[in-house]
Chains A and B, each alone.
Chain A
Amino acid sequence: MASVLTSVDDPVMEVQDLVTHYGAVQILRGVNMTVSPGEIMAIMGRSGSGKSTLLSYLLGLHRPTSGCVRLLGLDIARASAAELHELRKNIGVAFQGGAMFSSMTVGENIRLPLREHTKLDEKTMQIMTRMKLELVNLGGFEHLMPSQLSGGMLKRAALARAIIMDPKLLFFDEPSAGLDPVVAAELDELILRLRDALQMTIVVVTHELSSACKIADRIMILEKGCVLMTGTVDEVRNSENERIQAMLHRRPGTKEIDPDDYLQRLTRD
């Protein structure tokens, strides 16, 4: 699988002019981004700006209207089923709600990729599972069902499952949303450690500015399906753009109201 093994400097992820629709509604309007090896990229934006939508297309869960997504050098819209299968062993995803399989214990959940993709024996898989659980501070919770975990624990368990195959590329949707500040900070530390220890490239979707500033090398800001800006943390901080400043200082957005449009919305049936 030559396309999966990229050379050192090639971007790990490359998105070109990505346009997507839900039915007739255009959601993403031409998104471009590149992520280099070992980089932590944060995708930020207001609620409804299309972050989760972008993530689902990055993962190849839907077919875009136009544009292309390359992961580890492979164009996922053109790849064969076998190539995609190989690619997915090198990618880890922690979903926003965890998406742990409710019919299995936490340990079985985390072991599942190993069981499906490797021929390791039971004992080895168990040790690897426990190692990852320790890594996310969930040692000893192996035998609980996902429904017995709290929200923050679920997020960490999902992270453990995402990294069980030691992926080259990790996606993490809203790592700190809904967590208490201490646990959120721990997760941030963990993300940094994963990058440093395992050389993972990490794409994080978040709307916590403090967390993004702490972990991200670069930040991409989405607004209404367009990229408002991509830059390092400092570049984003020093940006002159009014809407970015509003977001940084948590000022309520100045909604520009178009009177005609407003009237039409009120009277439309």
Chain B
Amino acid sequence: MASPELKHPLLSVQQLGRTAVQAVEECGYVAALLVESLYWVVFGSVRHQPVRLPSIFSQMMTIGIGAIPIVFVLSFAVGVMLAIQGIHTLRIFGAESQVVIGIALSVTREFGPLITGVLIAGRSGSALAAQIGTMQVSQEIDALRVMGINPVRYLVSPALLAMLIMVPTLTFFSDLAALFGGAVYSTVELGLGVEAYLQQTLDVLAADDIMQGLIKSVVFAGIIALVGVSNGFSVTGGAEGVGRATTRAVVLSISYIVLADMVFTYFLNR
């Protein structure tokens, strides 16, 4: 046995190496999942193993429709918050009325997609990881495979598709709710007419701003679905394992969302 002082740094280097290898492996796995689930969407019916519409719709219901109230409340609150902070900051320059522009741009380009992404990651990404993890533990995934039902086609493709449809939709809704929140506060605080506020918002917003938010939200949707599903499939060790995978899925997908947001914002504004 080497002395503890010598053992320690070596061990941490080893650990670092292992973690790096694991990270690369996981990336490869997630990429393979993405390719396979898209393959089933496109070629499933040719191979007589289609991705079923009812499962897509039921996923869309749970991911999308159920999230509407909470998305509305949070987005509205963020809109109000932006208005408060914006007016406070702009008052220094005596330019409070410019707050409309600030809210319109920051909501559509940044806050709408981000809030929606984080919310859906916490709400549906975790549920996906828990559902698939539980199925893994109780041998339901094995049962699907031996029945000749591909788990990726049956479970992942519908979830991914539903995410890709519902997250941008919710993002658009979140944009509206946040703008509404900003409008309510600013019109009261600044004595602005609602119509004037609306007119200004429409004047300043270009289709490009909304598109930028929506493009990002599509990326977020992919991240949420794939991180949730891959963590679910990799569950080992019973109920405790399911819990761990669920937490990991949420933390990872929120982190990836924020990082991807930064990267995309950089490139989309070049």
Contact = CB atoms under 8 A, between A and B. Distances in A.
Interface in B6-59: 47, 49
A82 B148 CA distance: 10
Contacts of A93: 143, 146-147
A123 B255 CA distance: 49
A97 B148 contact: no
A95 B139 contact: yes
Interface string A83-123: 01111110101011101111100000000110011000000
Contacts of A226: none
A161 to B, nearest CB: 8
B134 interface: yes
Interface in B108-154: 131, 134-135, 138-140, 142-143, 145-149, 154
Contacts of B47: 82
A197 interface: no
Interface string A59-94: 111000000000000000000001011111101010
B143 A95 contact: yes
A102 B147 contact: no
Contacts of B143: 93, 95, 99, 101
A60 to B, nearest CB: 8
A61 to B, nearest CB: 6
Nearest to A58: B146
Contacts of B139: 95-97, 99
A213 to B, nearest CB: 28
Contacts of A113: 147-149
A62 B58 CA distance: 31
Contacts of B149: 112-113, 116
Contacts of B146: 59-61, 88, 91, 93
B148 A101 contact: no
A85 B154 CA distance: 14
Contact of A85 (B131, B140, B142, B148): B148
A56 interface: yes
Nearest to B131: A103
A267 to B, nearest CB: 14
Interface in A24-74: 56, 59-61
B212 to A, nearest CB: 37
A74 to B, nearest CB: 13
Contact of A116 (B131, B135, B138, B147): B147
A60 B143 CA distance: 12
A99 B142 contact: yes
A56 B142 contact: yes
A102 B138 contact: yes
A116 B155 CA distance: 13
B2 to A, nearest CB: 15
A205 B143 CA distance: 16
Contacts of A116: 49, 147-149, 154
Contact of A102 (B134, B142, B148): B134
A179 B47 CA distance: 41
Contacts of B142: 56, 59, 61, 95, 99
Nearest to A119: B48
A248 B149 CA distance: 40
Interface in A199-250: none
B147 A88 contact: yes
A84 B138 CA distance: 23
A101 B145 contact: no
A102 B146 CA distance: 17
A91 B148 CA distance: 9
Interface of B: 47, 49, 131, 134-135, 138-140, 142-143, 145-149, 154
Interface of A: 56, 59-61, 82, 84-89, 91, 93, 95-97, 99-103, 112-113, 116-117
22 contacts: A59-B145, A59-B146, A60-B146, A61-B145, A85-B49, A87-B148, A88-B145, A88-B147, A89-B148, A91-B146, A93-B143, A95-B139, A95-B143, A97-B138, A99-B142, A99-B143, A101-B135, A102-B134, A103-B131, A113-B149, A116-B49, A116-B154
Given A99-B142, A112-B147, 17 more contacts: A59-B142, A59-B145, A61-B145, A82-B47, A84-B148, A85-B49, A88-B147, A89-B148, A95-B139, A97-B139, A99-B143, A101-B140, A102-B134, A102-B138, A112-B149, A113-B147, A116-B148
The 7 closest A-B pairs by CB, nearest first: A88-B148, A99-B139, A99-B143, A93-B146, A95-B139, A59-B146, A85-B148
